[in-house]
Amino acid sequence: MARERTERAGPGGDAGRAAWTPREDRGPVRYGPPAPDPGLPVLPELAGVLAAAAGRSAPEPTGGGESLRAAAAAYWTRRGLRGGPEYIAAAPGASPLLLALIAAHGGDVLTPRPCPATWIPQARLLGRPAYHVPTPAECGGVPDPYALLETVRRVRAEGGRPRLLLISVVDDPTATVAPPELVREACEAAVAEGMHIVSDETWRDTLHRPHDTVLLSPAEMCPDDVTVVCDLAGALTPSAWPVAVARFPDTERAAVRHARTLDILTALGALVAGPVAAAAAHALTEPEAVTARVRRAAALQAQVAAAAHRAVLASGALARPPQAGRHLYADLGPLRARLATRGVTDSLELEEYLTERLGAPTPGGHRFGDELGALRVRLGTGPLLGSTPEQQMESLTAVEPLKLPHVARALSIFGTALDELR
């Protein structure tokens, strides 16, 4: 059994005090979510659907209209998760949707460490205790099952009520995919302890090697105990068009939580814009233009992320091989002595240093729940594709994108910034 100390995410625990204490030398530590990756240029077909719906004057109902919810239900049915539109709720982005879900479920929240940057702020906004659970060596996004059980035991011993586990089988920030056996063990452990699971599957369609990677949704294993969330900006729609969808289980308890979620979205005024809903519904039907863009984008990110990963390892830093998404998560701990000579002693200073050197937002690990003293950072691959829409499209359509001058130059700058620390 893992002997990890229970770590509270936010004020109240030792780890929380270390993570959230303002630093007098530079003012408060910035813990807000990092700027989203703008992604590739908007797909013309989606832009056309949005433009055609621009004249709509009637707002979408809370939780999304029938067309959007039916498209989301069909999307999940094609992935083995059957159910009708009555089990779907939509919101203008993942943040308000997750906030409503946490509020609807109640109790303490458990998350893997590291976890997406928006998760802990959502729990803190609601005043909910949140605890980090260590992940295994091979991946992020899903807690080690033994560490999960130990954390639950310790939280209860301290008077807590662990009720909700947030996981991401295709993980941001680590860009890893949790193996099915780990997902099963973690989910079975959580359900046995009376916890509900929210599975963030935003990045499931961005696998770098879809034919070699086995992806299993927790909802396939524990259908009555898992709510699935997907932020469409992960793969299907532009980040400037906020829309996310959730799929609830087919149970009486889930129906009550679904209704509570809609009540909270109503109170927040969290309605999906009509034109965005139309474009999102179209994307969720997965026409050929959309699926072709998703495939090409994933293949491009695979090549660029692999090159960035090689540069990280060549510098002496550590990182798991990226398997999905548009990021990789690097541990520069082995370079601590060299970084210290440049005034970099924690992840906040590392964020500032690399953001300046790379000319692109490079959020430190403290934003994702890691200790401030750990020298970890999420490195985005989007800026390596080009700085203009024309360069990005050239990268997307090139047979050998790594040989394009603007991509090669960006990778050279990336590698040089890391090599200086050897």
Q: Are 418 and 339 in contact (CB under 8 A)?
A: no
Residue 139 CA to residue 170 CA, distance in Å, equals 9
pLDDT band (50, 70, 90) for residue 29: very low
Q: Which of 376, 99, 393, 110 is nearest to 263 (CA)?
A: 99
At residue 22, the pLDDT reads: 32
Tokens standing for 165?
């586990």
Q: Is 106 helix (H, G, I), strand (E, B) or coil?
A: coil
The model's pLDDT over 257-266, given as tens digits with 9 standing for 90+, comes to 999 999 999 9
The model's pLDDT over 142-161, given as tens digits with 9 standing for 90+, comes to 999 999 999 999 999 999 99
At residue 27, the pLDDT reads: 43
At residue 192, the pLDDT reads: 97
Q: Are 422 and 335 in contact (CB under 8 A)?
A: yes
At residue 5, the pLDDT reads: 39
Could you give the count of Cα atoms lying within 13 Å of 109 in the half-sphere of its Cβ?
A: 29
Q: Are 102 and 261 in contact (CB under 8 A)?
A: no
Average pLDDT of span 32-53: 84
- DSSP states along 4-64: PPPEESSTTSHHHHHHH--BTTTBS---SPPPPP--SPPPHHHHHHHHHTTT--SPPPTB-
pLDDT band (50, 70, 90) for residue 28: very low
* Torsion angles phi and psi, residue 163, rounded to 5: -125, -25
At residue 39, the pLDDT reads: 76
In this predicted structure, the answer to whether residue 12 has a pLDDT above a threshold of 60 is: no
Q: Are 330 and 346 in contact (CB under 8 A)?
A: no
At residue 328, the pLDDT reads: 95
Residues facing residue 71 across a β-bridge: none
If residue 312 lies in a helix (H) or strand (E), which one and from where to where? Answer: helix 288-314
Q: What is the chain's mean pLDDT, rounded?
A: 91
To the nearest 10 degrees (0 to 180), the angle between helices 44-52 and 288-314 is: 130
In this predicted structure, the answer to whether residue 282 has a pLDDT above a threshold of 90 is: yes
The model's pLDDT over 360-417, given as tens digits with 9 standing for 90+, comes to 999 999 999 999 999 999 999 999 999 999 999 999 999 999 999 999 999 999 999 9
In this predicted structure, the answer to whether residue 8 has a pLDDT above a threshold of 90 is: no
pLDDT band (50, 70, 90) for residue 234: confident
Average pLDDT of span 223-243: 95
The model's pLDDT over 294-318, given as tens digits with 9 standing for 90+, comes to 999 999 999 999 999 999 999 999 9
- Specify burial of residue 244 (Cβ count, 10 A radius: 0-12, 13-18, 19+): buried
The model's pLDDT over 148-196, given as tens digits with 9 standing for 90+, comes to 999 999 999 999 999 999 999 999 999 999 999 999 999 999 999 999 9
At residue 422, the pLDDT reads: 86
Enter the DSSP assignment of 162: E
At residue 33, the pLDDT reads: 55
In this predicted structure, the answer to whether residue 16 has a pLDDT above a threshold of 70 is: no
In this predicted structure, the answer to whether residue 336 has a pLDDT above a threshold of 70 is: yes
Q: Are 231 and 282 in contact (CB under 8 A)?
A: no
Average pLDDT of span 209-236: 95
Neighbours of 390 (CB within 10 A): 11
Can the peptide bond before residue 114 be classed as cis, meaning omega within 30 degrees of 0? yes
pLDDT band (50, 70, 90) for residue 38: low
At residue 105, the pLDDT reads: 93
Tokens standing for 277?
């809903």
At residue 34, the pLDDT reads: 62
The model's pLDDT over 43-95, given as tens digits with 9 standing for 90+, comes to 999 999 999 999 988 889 999 999 999 999 999 999 999 999 999 999 999 99
At residue 153, the pLDDT reads: 97
